[in-house]
Amino acid sequence: MTDYPKPPFPKQPQAVPGSQRNMHPVPDCGEQSYKGSGRLQGKIALITGADSGIGRAVAIAFAREGADVAIAYLNEHEDALETARWVEDAGRQTLLLPGDIAHKAQCQTLVDKTVERFGRIDILVNNAAFQMSHDTIEDITDEEWVMTFDVNITAMFRICKAALKHMKAGSSIINTSSVNSDLPKPTLLAYATTKGAIANFTGGLAQMLGPRNIRVNSVAPGPIWTPLIVSTMPDDEVQNFGSETPLGRPGQPVEVAPIYVLLASDEASYITGQRYGITGGKPIL
């Protein structure tokens, strides 16, 4: 708990979607630390936004637990190749799936290519997201509002719908929500609204899929040190990121990954329809 970096952090503006390798300090995705114990042996996972941040930490953990991992991402090829190398170093197979999930066809392509390569999907992690900070509602264009919904929640619906054709009883869907799902940060108005929708979608879908023995849960991270932050937040917020939490620092992606492993594993056979906070001490509602 005491080894991870604390604020203040250096200013480091980056363009969206951000590059993990150019961050200071570089986020810790468990590259040197996560130890697996066979909890996902032989499973097939599709993870969106798996090039960097939380998605990379989940990809590394899943691979070290014995899963093959399809890595979907927007266009950060260098970050994605690095994630793929870590998956292969764990002795597992991987597949790189770049492209914009705001487009309906790309959502179908992710699933088709994963199934073509691996034959099925056991674990679907819907983790990709877009956000941008704006001080007033007038600053948010109609196009950005709609795009935020397309990427964060409509793609989730489309990918779930396509993937479920290839998911058997015992499979698990994990959606990345946020603490913004119940405590919306006003400067992230569109994003926070989609995160509320994700929490709600998760609860509804879990009830719908219970009879098919497919579980659906969401994770609500607090401040986690990732490219999303440095590419979308004002300098002063980046510099003080995580300081308001009881632990006084942001979480590192490696600290978020274990809940995804649990929710993906067969040990979680009675856990569905829930939302799990990983917040450094602030309760979620």
Q: Please report how the helices 189-209 and 155-164 are oriented relative to each other, as an axis angle in degrees rounded to 10.
A: 20
Contact residue for Mg ion among 52, 172, 178, 232 (CB under 5 A): 52
* CB 177 within 8 Å of CB 167: no
In the complex, minimum distance from the CB of residue 142 to Mg ion, in angstroms, rounded to a whole number: 26
CB-based burial, 248-282: b 16+ in 10 Å, e otherwise: ebbbbbbbbbebbbbbbbeebeeebbbbbbbbbee
In the complex, minimum distance from the CB of residue 100 to ligand NAD, in angstroms, rounded to a whole number: 4
User: Rule CB under 6 A: is residue 17 a binding residue for ligand NAD?
Assistant: yes
Distance, CA of 111 to CA of 75 (rounded, Å):
18
User: Rule CB under 5 A: is residue 122 a binding residue for Mg ion?
Assistant: no
The residue written with tokens 């870590």 in the block is 86
Q: Which stretch binds ligand NAD (CB under 6 A): 50-58, 82-90, 134-142, 207-215?
A: 50-58
- Preceding omega of 13 cis (within 30 degrees of 0): no
In this complex, which beta carbon is closest to ligand NAD, that of residue 30 or of residue 221?
221
- Which residues ranging from 72 to 131 are in contact with ligand NAD (CB under 6 A)? 73-74, 76, 100-102, 127-130
- Of 191, 260, 270, 276, which residue is the catalytic one? 191
In this complex, which beta carbon is closest to ligand NAD, that of residue 17 or of residue 269?
17
Residue 45: phi, psi to the nearest 5?
-120, 140
User: Rule CB under 6 A: is residue 216 a binding residue for ligand NAD?
Assistant: no
* CB 191 within 8 Å of CB 131: yes
Catalytic positions? 191
Please give the residue ranges that form the binding site for ligand NAD (CB under 6 A): 17-18, 48-49, 51-55, 73-74, 76, 100-102, 127-130, 151, 176, 178, 221, 223-224, 226-229
